[in-house]
Amino acid sequence: MDRTASAREEGAPASVGGTPREAGAPSLAVTDMMALLTRFGKTLLWLMPIYLTGYFGLSVSFLVFGLILWMGWKMRRDSKWNKLRDAFYLLENEEVVTKRRTNNSLPAWIHFQDLERADWLNKVLQQAWPFVGQYLEKLLVNSIAPIVRSSNNHLQTFAFTKVSFGVKPLKVHGVQVHTGTDKRQVTLDLHISYIGDCEINVEVKKYFCKAGVNGIQLHGMLRVILEPLIGDMPLVGAVTMFFIRRPVLDINWTGLTNLLDIPGLSSKSDTVLMDTIASFLVLPNRITCPLIGELRVAELRSPLPRGIIRIHLIEAASLESKDTYVKGIIKGKSDPYAIIRVGTQAFMSKTISENVNPKWNEMYEVIVHEVPGQLLEIEMFDKDPDQDDFLGRIQLDLGEVMKNKIVDEWFTLKDVERGKVRLKLEWLSLHSDPAKLEQALLVNNSITAQNSEEPSSAIMVVYVDQAQDLPLKHGTREPNPLVQASLLDKTFESRTVYNTNAPVWEDAFTFFVQNPNQQDLDIQVKDDDRELSLGTLSLPLSQLLRSPAMSFDQWFPLEHSGRNSQIYLKILMRVLIPDAVDLEKIPRTRKSTLEKMQGSAKSDKINATAAKLVEATGMATLIQAPLPTESSAPSSVGTEGVIRIHLLEAENLIAKDNFMKGMVKGKSDPYVKVRAGAQSFRSKTIKENLNPKWHEMYEVIINHIPGQELEFELFDKDIDKDDFLGRLKISYKDIMKSNVMDEWFMLNDVKSGKLHLKLEWLPPGMDSVILDQVLQANSTIFTQNGMEPSAAILTVYLDRAHELPLKKGKKLPSPMAQLTVSRTSFKSQVINSRELPIWEESFSFLVGNPNVERLEVQIKDDGHILGTLTLPLSQLLTSKNLTLDKWFQLENSGPNSQIMLKVILGILVSEHSSELFSIQTMDQEPANHEVENVSSSPSVSDESELKPGLSLVNDPSSHSVSSFASEHSANIPASESASSELDLRQRMNRKMDVSESPQIKLTLQYIMQHGRLLLVVHSCRNLKLHSKEIPDPYVSLILLPDKNRVTKRKTNVKKKTINPGYNDKFDFEISLEEAQKRKLDLTVKNSVSFMSKEIGKLHIDLSLLDLTQEITQWFDLKEE
């Protein structure tokens, strides 16, 4: 009945009035038409790439590549939706799924005795989740959105268009409570899971950009620490939260952020997100919410670690072979390396090429904050040009290492068929007793590692609290201060506090310390532009050894700052001792530095007590302890020298920059780190160059302690992490033995690359007569980094002071000394409550010009100046042996206040100075030899007439003549400056050369131990021009007679120069008797033309020379 009526109604004509359904028919038709047009437009849009490919005549590969990207994006989107749908199903039907998977038994985690269910907490979260969503919505819309809009002009139209956190709350699967670690805290481990149906959409209306998130999955273990427990409400002082390990995160993107699901971008975006979360919530990072006032949040956020684990990555065995050839038919080996990770601390070992049983013998140190809980993760990979192959992984709970103290065993790699790795893990405990420092240093001396990581003897935590009365920026504006804390080459930076000169940072930094006796902590307060300095502080770590519990908790006055500027720091240092080492069996052959300090303090206390007894008995006028007439400086003081480092260039460096996952090779942006003990330097970065040229100079002061090395490390500058390009180590002993090393050095731990260095050992000289000549020679040296060479080294031995003024209330002062030369300052140790302090410390300074510079000494007590001394260094130039060793009267002090110093000045004579002015020391007077067709070199009197400002051409390591001439073109007449560059070079050559004749510098010596004749071709100068072209000279030589020409040698070719520098070394395996029968035939040639043309010749009869002695001198070339 209904069907018939319905049929009639559908087939009958419409009435006049029409039914409601008939009245809505046109609107339905419009809707259907819009849907059809929309579908048609989408179809055209999908066909558009095909049309454009044909229209522009592009290859079909572009279309195929786009199709592959779309398919990858579609598959990843479908995979995410499936995971999210499965997670929702599991969340809603947990009991059914669990019983099905466990054969009707309860979940496995219920049987864990230390993991408790939290059903009551989940019910609370279920009830409160809508209100949590409202709070988070207000936070995003009212707080986060304005910050985003104000951060950039392009984001002024940014807005949250939809914020919904859904109905699926955060779920806690179990809670584990730790109460035995500390009585003043409660530790909770929450196993959380969030499978949320949240939807958050954002829009930038100005650019019609829409993006968002539709569904998030987060799984992990969140540790919550309630500390400190207090006796007042709310019973807990603060709540600290963090993830011990990285949580698992999966986000379903919408809108424009759909692009993040494209293959290649998806893994990158996930990594960036996890790194961002780890920087806030994964150890050692924490979120601390204080519940009461007067809490030091920084100490809760960065507490002292539980311990340190020293990881020795020794070797691996039976790794899988991943390298194959001929499409897998031929099996190769692997190039294994290891990635070691503990929380956010990660290290990468070197790569061992073509070895399935690699040996590393590398050492790393990691900070352990929470045990049990933190894991050691090691992953092995095979290094490949495109994508590295997986070789296995292991995980180890660090609680086992703390329990066993030392673990040394083989671990089987997981997720692979075979492979194992050998590790040695040591647990280092923290001790507050400074007497154990020497024991830690002795233990560390026995440790050697291939990666040259020096083991740490202590750990230091620096809490940067606040500052006061910082200077204003440009005199009127409030600064935006931040703090940079540095120890050797490790630098940490605090957050920036805006628009205040009394900032509160509450940040903390942790440093590994190799030797507290030799290292200083440097604090710099800067404006946010990192250029304007607001104050500095340099603190020797040796002062911590004498403070109670090895800690400071006080205000420190800032230097180079305002009058009342100061910073509040809390510094803790703890000695690291391996628990598995028996300290009683460690041999102690010398007293520790601390015991020496305590011993001197005890002797001073006895002397002071004796003086008081003498005065009390009325015998002070009869008995007076005589003051020493000179310092107690050891003989080693003043023997320090300088190594001058010329960083010239590099060649054949590895190209680290690549694109499209290594398919397109780029170049590198290399720079060099130079490390010499506690001093370090960094060169400028050369953009996109595998053969960079730096021409920079550095100087380091060194002593004669054996075993020291100069280290060079090359890196490729990148946005995230700089890539390693090689390293090089040179012993100080080798440099001092050679005096000058001008060589190419091969880089280690890389496949290719070499570095050109010129290293000079400059021992201190005691002759003040040569100072002016050294200064003139130094003025002709120009470097790219603007470093001016030093003319002298100043060594100051700070012995003691006498009758310093008392503090207010007649209290004994606690003096320290600050010594300054030019812009370099050093601080001595603080001698607590002493009127007669004894420091016995030595300091060394580089001096540019002793004629104008001066030594300034300030004796201070907690910022109060007890006395000053200003000593012009020119006084030393007239002293015997350039040394003053006596008592100096202090200014602005007591009437009898004095200070005992030994001040030694040493003149630094470089090879450049010796060549320009023939400065010869007593041990370097050249012997007079009769040489065939060879005239003697210019005498001292001849060369002394040379103008020092025009001597640049004689040093091959200096700038070219053209660059020098351009800088001094004002001294050349206008008529001459209009001539060609060639004429200018010739004129400069005539002005600058001592002799018009061309010369060559050689070294000849017969090495008896090896039975070889050594010949070194150093350089040429004043080569003559036979055409308008500047020559490309090289040197060809042979020992005559030689019928078969087996002794013929030649140097490399130097382009476009008349003063080439070679430093090429040749040796000949002949006896001494045979060498004395030979004649050296040497020819300088020009390789520009097809047939090399001779520029000059030299013949030396070796029978006229004493070859058993080293002969180094300039020889005149005979012109052809």
Residues 291 and 237 sit within 8 Å (Cβ to Cβ):
yes
**Could you tell me which residues come within 8 angstroms of residue 455 by beta carbon, excluding any fewer than 6 positions away?**
310, 363, 365, 444, 447, 449, 514
**Ranges assigned E (strand) in 862-989:** 864-872, 883-889, 898-908
> What gap in Å lies between CA 211 and CA 160, rounded to an integer?
10
Can you give the pLDDT at residue 15?
41
What percent of the chain is predicted at pLDDT more than 70?
77
**Could you tell me which residues come within 8 angstroms of residue 792 by beta carbon, excluding any fewer than 6 positions away?**
764, 771, 846, 847, 850, 873, 905, 906, 907, 908
Residue 1054 vs residue 153, higher pLDDT: 1054
In the chain, the amino acid numbered 48 is: M
Q: What is the pLDDT of residues 708-749, one digit of tens each?
A: 889 999 999 887 778 899 999 898 888 888 888 999 999 988
Residues 461 and 569 sit within 8 Å (Cβ to Cβ):
no
Residue 317 has pLDDT above 90, yes or no: yes
Strand partners, 796: 843, 903
- The chain-wide mean pLDDT, for the chain, equals 78
Can you give the pLDDT at residue 920?
40
Residue 950 vs residue 269, higher pLDDT: 269
- Reported confidence tier of residue 760, pLDDT bands at 50, 70, 90: very high
DSSP 536-561: EEEEETHHHHHSGGGEEEEEEEPBSS
**Ranges assigned E (strand) in 747-815:** 754-762, 764-765, 792-802
- Reported confidence tier of residue 918, pLDDT bands at 50, 70, 90: low
Can you give the pLDDT at residue 791?
92
Residue 1026 has pLDDT above 80, yes or no: no
> What gap in Å lies between CA 120 and CA 15, rounded to an integer?
65
Residue 604 has pLDDT above 80, yes or no: no
Report the relative pairing of strands 1033-1040 and 1079-1086 from DSSP bridges: antiparallel
Residue 447 vs residue 790, higher pLDDT: 790
Residues 255 and 210 sit within 8 Å (Cβ to Cβ):
yes
> What gap in Å lies between CA 779 and CA 794, rounded to an integer?
20
506, two tokens: 């509450």
In the chain, the amino acid numbered 394 is: I
Per-residue pLDDT, averaged over 955-967, amounts to: 35
| Stretch among 319-333, 551-565, 924-938, 1063-1077 having the lowest mean pLDDT | 924-938
- Reported confidence tier of residue 174, pLDDT bands at 50, 70, 90: confident
Can you give the pLDDT at residue 1021?
85
Residues 1070 and 1014 sit within 8 Å (Cβ to Cβ):
no
Closest residue by Cα to residue 511 from 240, 677, 305: 305
For residue 722, what is the DSSP state?
P
Residue 976 has pLDDT above 50, yes or no: no
Q: What is the pLDDT of residues 791-812, one digit of tens each?
A: 999 999 999 998 888 876 577 8
Q: What is the pLDDT of residues 1069-1090, one digit of tens each?
A: 899 989 998 999 999 988 865 5
> What gap in Å lies between CA 176 and CA 1064, rounded to an integer?
71
Residues 541 and 434 sit within 8 Å (Cβ to Cβ):
no
- Reported confidence tier of residue 846, pLDDT bands at 50, 70, 90: very high
Strand partners, 870: 856
34, two tokens: 């819009």
Residue 534 has pLDDT above 60, yes or no: yes
| Stretch among 85-94, 294-303, 699-708 having the lowest mean pLDDT | 85-94
Residues 297 and 403 sit within 8 Å (Cβ to Cβ):
no
**Could you tell me which residues come within 8 angstroms of residue 202 by beta carbon, excluding any fewer than 6 positions away?**
158, 159, 160, 161, 210, 211, 212
CA dihedral 678→683→684→685, nearest 10 degrees, is: -100
Closest residue by Cα to residue 420 from 411, 428, 430, 408: 411
User: Which H/E stretch holds residue 199?
Assistant: strand 186-204
Closest residue by Cα to residue 270 from 216, 344, 343: 216
Residue 325 has pLDDT above 70, yes or no: no
Q: CA angle, 428 as apex, 422 and 432 as ends, to 5°?
A: 170
> What gap in Å lies between CA 291 and CA 267, rounded to an integer?
39
28-42, 255-269, 861-875, range with greatest mean pLDDT: 861-875
Give CA 199 to chain center in angstroms.
43
> What gap in Å lies between CA 427 and CA 403, rounded to an integer?
9
Can you give the pLDDT at residue 939?
34
Residues 863 and 827 sit within 8 Å (Cβ to Cβ):
no
375, two tokens: 């894991």
Q: What is the pLDDT of residues 539-589, one digit of tens each?
A: 999 888 888 888 898 999 998 888 889 999 999 999 998 876 665 555 443
- Reported confidence tier of residue 259, pLDDT bands at 50, 70, 90: low
Long-range contacts, 850-856 (Cβ 8 Å, 24+): 850/771, 850/791, 850/792, 850/794, 850/874, 850/876, 850/877, 850/905, 851/771, 851/775, 851/877, 853/821, 853/822, 854/821, 855/794, 855/796, 855/819, 855/820, 855/821, 855/903, 856/819, 856/820, 856/821
Strand partners, 367: 308
Closest residue by Cα to residue 245 from 225, 262, 268, 223: 223
Helix, strand and coil percent figures for the chain, each rounded to 5: 25, 40, 35
CB-count exposure of residue 481 (10 Å: 0-12, 13-18, 19+): buried
**Could you tell me which residues come within 8 angstroms of residue 293 by beta carbon, excluding any fewer than 6 positions away?**
none
Report the relative pairing of strands 1093-1101 and 1049-1050 from DSSP bridges: unpaired
Q: CA angle, 569 as apex, 565 and 575 as ends, to 5°?
A: 145
In the chain, the amino acid numbered 1055 is: K
Residues 833 and 810 sit within 8 Å (Cβ to Cβ):
no
> What gap in Å lies between CA 143 and CA 259, rounded to an integer?
28
- How many residues comprise the chain? 1120
Q: What is the pLDDT of residues 346-372, one digit of tens each?
A: 899 999 988 999 999 999 999 988 877
DSSP 631-696: ----TTTT--EEEEEEEEEEES-----EETTTTEE----EEEEEEETTEEEEPPPPTT-SS-EEEE
- Reported confidence tier of residue 530, pLDDT bands at 50, 70, 90: confident
| Stretch among 135-149, 287-301, 681-695 having the lowest mean pLDDT | 287-301
> What gap in Å lies between CA 1016 and CA 885, rounded to an integer?
44
238-252, 400-414, 572-586, range with greatest mean pLDDT: 400-414
1037, two tokens: 């030589």
570, two tokens: 């809390």
Strand partners, 462: 509, 571
> What gap in Å lies between CA 978 and CA 983, rounded to an integer?
10
In the chain, the amino acid numbered 534 is: L
Per-residue pLDDT, averaged over 972-983, amounts to: 37
* Cα→Cα distances 197→170, 213, 752, Å: 11, 10, 53
> What gap in Å lies between CA 983 and CA 233, rounded to an integer?
91
Residue 961 vs residue 1120, higher pLDDT: 1120
604: number of CA atoms within 13 Å, CB side?
A: 19
3 state SS of 1035: strand
> What gap in Å lies between CA 171 and CA 125, rounded to an integer?
8
Residue 973 vs residue 469, higher pLDDT: 469
Residue 890 has pLDDT above 70, yes or no: yes
Per-residue pLDDT, averaged over 669-696, amounts to: 89
Please count the helices (runs of H) and the strands (runs of E) in the chain: 22, 52
Task: Please report which residue ranges of 719-817 form alpha helices under DSSP H.
Answer: 732-738, 771-778
Q: What end-to-end distance do the CA atoms of the chain give, in Å?
A: 129
- Reported confidence tier of residue 989, pLDDT bands at 50, 70, 90: very low
Closest residue by Cα to residue 818 from 935, 899, 744: 899
> What gap in Å lies between CA 392 and CA 384, rounded to an integer?
16
194, two tokens: 């969030």
Residue 58 has pLDDT above 60, yes or no: yes
In the chain, the amino acid numbered 639 is: T
Residue 621 has pLDDT above 80, yes or no: no
